[in-house]
Structure 1
């Protein structure tokens, strides 16, 4: 009897705000400063299985604004999604979890971060669109370079 091939399954089960915090450690004094703050935005992506065929993908953003060495505000947010992914080749899974899922979750994160910042009394910070494919490929290249053995050195 021939084996039945199963159709691939990719479905969004839920998208949710997992964690968010806003800190203004130097308020109200820093609010009187008219200088433009520097803005540093860091992003991260994590994926973990939660059940058979179900995966949680979390995109994390840290937005840190400073004037000189004083923090204006710090926002840390985690937006997550639960995805049903079944019947895919193992080599396809990393791309789906590292590119397709974050692309779905990220717009929610952008909106929530801008909203929290605005509700904190600041003009919203609009995070740029992210090319998760390029980010994923860079992470793969970095991992391959770190795993490659170093060239032998000849000391004379």
Structure 2
């Protein structure tokens, strides 16, 4: 095989993906200190913390711009009596300029890669809010956005199966 034939058979390189974070913002933030609202009670506190994550993305009116919102709900309960200690709700957004991503791959890109870029800031805000609320700073575990995306696809597929009428 000659070099010319080898070069002709080589696959063309894919378009270069370009992503730029144009801005980040807190859309909504709330912190409920249930312990303070009930009044301080002595006793053994063994926190059990649950984190729920949801995502939303939309195209903006400007070419190649997208808005991605990560929504976190953190609930901490006392294992001993199941009383709520605190609840944090944070909707954190980013505005992204994205080029070079094929249309059929844009949805997963927006709901996997963009939230990965925002996550360190979300973690810091939740840590600061829980500390400022009188609790030890909560450093939430890293979120596997790929697994979250796959789980949502599976949930939707299952939902479509159950929505079909029986013949």
Q: TM-score, normalised by structure 1?
A: 0.82
1:3 corresponds to = none
The aligned counterpart of 1:22 is: 31
Deviations 1:7-54 (A, max 9, x none): 654221112222211112341624634321222211111112222321
Q: Which consecutive residues of structure 1, in runs of 5 or more, have no partner in the other structure? A: 1-5
Give 2:117's aligned residue. Answer: 104
**Over alpha carbons, which structure has the higher Rg?**
2
How far residue 147 of structure 1 moved from its aligned partner, in angstroms, is 2.2
Q: Give the deviation of 1:152 after TM superposition.
A: 5.8
Is contact 1:30-1:72 (8 Å) kept? no
Whole-angstrom distance in 2 between the partners of 1:8 and 1:35: 48
- Helix, strand or coil at the partner of 2:34: coil
Q: 1:83 Cα deviation (Å)?
A: 0.5
CA drift at 1:126? 1.4
Q: Is the contact between residue 60 and residue 77 of structure 1 (CA under 8 Å) also seen in structure 2?
A: yes
- Structure 2: 5+ residue runs without aligned partners? 1-14
Aligned to 2:68: 57
Using a 3 Å threshold, how does the CA distance of structure 1 residues 121 and 102 change in structure 2: closer, same or farther?
same
Deviations 1:101-150 (A, max 9, x none): 01001111011001100011100111111111121122112222322366
1:77 aligns with one of 71, 81, 90: 90
The residue that corresponds to 2:51 in the other structure is: 41
Aligned-residue RMSD, C-alpha: 2.5
| TM-score w.r.t. length of structure 2 | 0.77
Residues 1:63 and 1:30: Cα distance change in structure 2 (over 3 Å): farther
Alpha-carbon separation, structure 2, partners of 1:39 and 1:31: 19
1:90 aligns with 2:103: yes
